[in-house]
Amino acid sequence: MNNKEIIAEGQEYVMNTYGRLPIALVEGKGSYVWDADGKRYLDFVAGIAVNALGHCHPAVVEAISEQAHKLIHCSNLYWIEPQVKLAKMLVEHSCFDKAFFCNSGAEANEAAFKLARKYAKAQGYTNRYEVISTANSFHGRTLATLNATGQEKVHHNFEPLLDGFKSVPYNDLAAIEDAISDKTCAIIVEPIQGEGGVIVAHAGYLAGLRHLCDEHDLLLIFDEVQVGCGRTGKLFAYQNSGVKPDVMTLAKALAGGVAIGAMLVNQRADVFVPGEHASTFGGNPLATAAAVAAINQMLVEDIPEGVTLKSEYFICKLQQLVDKYDSLLSVRGQGLLLGLVANKPAGAVVEACQGKGLLINCTAGSVLRFVPPLTVSNDEIDEAVAILDQALQECGF
């Protein structure tokens, strides 16, 4: 089937929940993907920060193939060897003590919300159930996680909002402190807001949240679904700040492209007992085997360290565009989660880039977001910036 045929059948049979570009991707290798008509694209969306090792990394492909020939799924009523290996790997390279596995970032955040309520009960607080989040955050689209998400467009048509969530401005410690009440059980925050427009936490903000949580006996939850697994130049984003949360949620890049989610907890937050939370497919042999291979590859090749060097190079190139175009305001972000901030809507630039063989996306209406594979080369960055330059000029920036 070609692009036109796939799109026509998709419009007939697939629910209309995405504003899709008019291409159907059928193959990928490294930093490139090909559509059904054979056109090649340089992929700086990478499945929205999922394909951190590039498309179809040999180590991940081999792990999936090998595991698929042995055991694809079994219930969590039994111990699962690759799940245990992955949990050990994540714990030994972080500040956490235990791991729970599910299938997505939204599921991981759902688990964290339940855990926060259970923690409060375990500490003897009978009326603590509220979670404080931040404006412009994104924590998922399930009924609970959309309530934690600080974006009205995500809430629209799904009101009334659930009780138990409160949103305050990001990077505002005073607002968080004012929001804490005798009902609060946790604070959830992204070290960098990806969907919110690539907004980085100010110096001292995360440390301030840690202090407030310690002072009020609350759990501090870091949502690292988009920023974890090497994207910021450390294996986990919290390591850039030195602030240790009680709970961290992961997904996206964890298994090199296979669906997975994880919640990591320290000893303080390890309060679930059998029967209180579960996931049928969570941590299944196939997904965790892929994740073991993906994380091992990051550690063996020290990919996070390379991210820092590539980030500096990429930021320099993007800054040159800011200096060139009046409609561009700044470059922001960290590692290989970068945003090019415009003073007007930038969706047309995404479409222009796609036509020229570069895939990017736009968030918060006017921020062009770049989340390429962490294995991207400087030559590929140059290629992307050259196409972006042409698109900006074509779109009148």
Closest among 265, 245, 253, 203 to 226, alpha carbons compared: 253
Q: How many residues does the chain have?
A: 397
SS3 at position 76? coil
- DSSP-derived pairing of the beta strands 192-193 and 199-200: antiparallel
Task: Tell me how far apart the alpha carbons of residues 188 and 113 are, in angstroms, rounded to a whole number.
Answer: 9
Catalytic amino acids?
138, 223, 252
Q: In angstroms, what CA-CA distances link 211 with 54, 184, 219, 250?
A: 38, 15, 11, 23
Cβ neighbours of residue 264 under 8 Å, at least 6 residues apart?
90, 91, 94, 96, 98, 99, 100, 247, 248, 249, 250
Cβ neighbours of residue 222 under 8 Å, at least 6 residues apart?
188, 189, 190, 191, 237, 238, 245, 247, 248, 249
**Contact assessment for residue 187 and residue 153, using Cβ atoms and an 8 Å cutoff:** no
Which phi and psi angles does 189 have, rounded to 5°? -150, 150
**Contact assessment for residue 61 and residue 258, using Cβ atoms and an 8 Å cutoff:** no
Q: Which amino acid is located at 150 in the chain?
A: G
